[in-house]
Amino acid sequence: MTAQELATAVQNKTNVKIIVMNNNFLGMVRQWQEIFYAGNYSHVNMQWVPDFVKLAEAYGALGLRATRPDQLEGVLQRGLSSPGVVVMDILVDEEANVYPMVPAGAGLKEMVLG
């Protein structure tokens, strides 16, 4: 949700490696809407997301992308072994959920595990 740190990372010649788990959704918000609001999706579908490879290049970083599972290993190998700042855009399932999560206003004992 922010990107300007890429400039700081490049300017300071860091070796930061960034992996974008690109689900084309505001995934955390979508998951809340799925589980607690009966799947009423509102303003979470991001069919148009920035091109993260071009975004990386705009900041002077290396950008790589895996659109299929068989490309993942190659992208990770190249990305992690390249010097400097690297952004890896990894396309993942749109509706994969992340657990555990705690409902709003609930205690940790009411944590949803999956």
List residues binding Mg ion (CB under 5 A).
23, 27
Beta pairing, strands 17-22 & 62-66: unpaired
Residue 28 site contact among Mg ion, ligand TPP, none (CB < 5 to 8 Å, cut-off depends on kind): ligand TPP
Cβ proximity to Mg ion, 5 vs 14, nearer residue:
5
Cβ proximity to ligand TPP, 23 vs 33, nearer residue:
23
| Spatial separation of the C-alpha atoms in residues 36 and 100, rounded to whole Å | 14
Burial per residue of 21-53, b for 16 or more beta-carbon CB atoms within 10 angstroms, e otherwise = ebbbbbbeebbebeeeeeeeeeebeeeeeeebb
Does residue 50 have a cis peptide bond before it, meaning omega lies within 30 degrees of 0? no
25 binds ligand TPP (CB under 6 A): yes
* Binding range to ligand TPP, per CB under 6 A, among 22-30, 67-75, 78-86, 103-111: 22-30
Distance in Å from the first CA to the final CA of the chain: 26
Tell me how far, at minimum, the Cβ of 22 lies from ligand TPP, in Å.
8
19 binds ligand TPP (CB under 6 A): no
1 binds ligand TPP (CB under 6 A): yes
52 binds ligand TPP (CB under 6 A): no
